[in-house]
Amino acid sequence: MTPPATTPRTILLTGAAGTVGTLMRGLLPGYGYELRSLDVAPVPGEPDAITAGLGDRAALREAVAGTDAVLHLAGISLESSFDEILRSNIEGTYNLYEAAREEGVRRIVFASSNHAVGYTPWPGKDDPLIPIDVPRRPDTFYGLSKCFGEDLAQLYWDKHGIETVSVRIGSCFPRPSSVRMLSIWMSPEDGARLFHAALTAEGVGHTVVYGSSANTRVVWDLAPARALGYEPRDDSEPYAAELIAEQGELDPAGNPDHAHLGGLFVTRPPRWEDRG
């Protein structure tokens, strides 16, 4: 894919106060973006951020107006009740796409998740990388909402010509904290590289990619992300010895917590209500 003639400049960042949003607020301005932050909670250090939930259609419309693209990170990012997921992630994402359609915004980067395919068996050492077209197998209502988001993105491309890159994010934190994350970790810097590629690549229609660093223990195919121009530079391997000493090697055949891509989301999902 060739770079576009014009790089999007003003980006609406939803979920700006969240974990990934906070990391991206630090990194994306370095790529020349002007960020317009939106979150249901106040955004620390940003008095001009828009405080609005994804249920507030008027606020969403005002927020997307005049932007070149949206990086949509907002929503519940762990398991919750179906009603909460429905309101926040399903209806909320619909509201955002409607606002984009009404205001003529042509590109959205959607934070999908590995949990859209979380019931995929953890691959054995000699198995091929998990392809991007593996059947969707959500591991939670949260993962199900990401499947919905991907399908919504496809509908808005086919029907309204709004382009989306859906990024099935692995674990985007400053450092990996589990042996599972050694395979799916996306360093914040690689996250910014991937989002920048997703915001600027030409002719994406609706493209789904996995989002991780170039980890030695990678389990999925990064080729679709690389086709956008993403060149990951990080690898979780320097963290491996310490994490394996603490937690032991993954045991997909013997430990149900390790048997699937979604890890604990399959067996005992962390709940949004219990977050610290």
Q: Which residues are catalytic?
A: 142
CA distances from 57 to 34, 48, 69, 96, 276 (A): 23, 19, 17, 8, 29
Taking a C-beta distance cutoff of 8 angstroms, is the pair 196, 28 a contact? yes
- Bridge-based pairing of strands 163-169 and 34-39 is unpaired
43 vs 111 by CB, closer to ligand 15L: 111
Residues that bind ligand 15L (CB under 6 A): 77-78, 113-115, 171
Dmax over CA atoms of the chain, in Å, equals 53
Written as one letter, the residue type at 67 is T
Taking a C-beta distance cutoff of 8 angstroms, is the pair 86, 233 a contact? no
Report d(CA 160, CA 155) in Å as an integer: 8
| DSSP per-residue codes, 39-50 | ESS--TT-TTSE
Report d(CA 178, CA 193) in Å as an integer: 23
Taking a C-beta distance cutoff of 8 angstroms, is the pair 172, 184 a contact? no
Taking a C-beta distance cutoff of 8 angstroms, is the pair 26, 191 a contact? no
| DSSP per-residue codes, 99-134 | HHHHHT--EEEEEEEGGGGTTSBPPPTTSPPBPTTS
Report d(CA 200, CA 68) in Å as an integer: 10
